[in-house]
Amino acid sequence: MAFSQKLFDELPIVAILRGYGVEQSTRAAEAAVDGGIVNVEVTMNTADVAGCIAAMAARLAGRANVGAGTVCSLEDLKIALDAGAQFIVTPVVVPDVIAECNRKGIPIICGALTPTEVHQAVTAGADYVKIFPVHTAGGPEYIKALKGPLDQVKYIPTGSVDAENMPAYLRAGAFGFGVGSPVFRKDRIEAEDWAWISAGATRLKEVYLNA
């Protein structure tokens, strides 16, 4: 399945999975999607990341976008795309990865932190810019400050974002979010508490849509 821009634009929250096996990852992702999340990322430093992406893409076809995160090289990109990743997330500015995604028509969320890095990401062709780790840089106030000179950028704050601080980020000018533990908390995944994951996803969706 191809990336659904419609799904992404309706709820640009990316739920991030890192470090789980194929079955756990797939079941956790499905629980999040059942709760309303429509974009799920698996990081490249996950064991059998290709298997995770392939299984999730098959299970969630038509219901959610499945992407690869922590993509730091063209080698990572090839593994991700061969497995069926529909969008790409990098932790830092990687110009050759951005260029290849542009060439292939694959949406890319490029990681950056400083204004210079944000400008480099956009100039290189990033569709969205992930500000990470946003909480250490000043949280919502930092996004607001970036929006001053760099106001056309679609910011995806990532790092300690939750339902409580999401409205402040939206007021500051955030477009979307990368989230981890508010949906994929380690102890809840290990306990196979899929209802908790679905509830966390629903909470984030409601906050985003009603902020």
Residue 86 makes CB contacts below 8 A (sequence gap 6+) with 1, 2, 3, 4, 57, 65, 66, 67, 106, 107
Q: Is 160 helix (H, G, I), strand (E, B) or coil?
A: coil
From the candidates 41, 117, 141, 205, give the one annotated as an active-site residue: 41
Report how far residue 115's alpha carbon sits from residue 99's, in angstroms, rounded to the nearest whole number. Answer: 20
Q: Is 125 helix (H, G, I), strand (E, B) or coil?
A: coil
9 within 8 A of 45, measured Cβ to Cβ: no
Is 130 annotated in the active site? Answer: yes
From the candidates 23, 104, 117, 130, give the one annotated as an active-site residue: 130
Which of the residues are catalytic? 41, 130
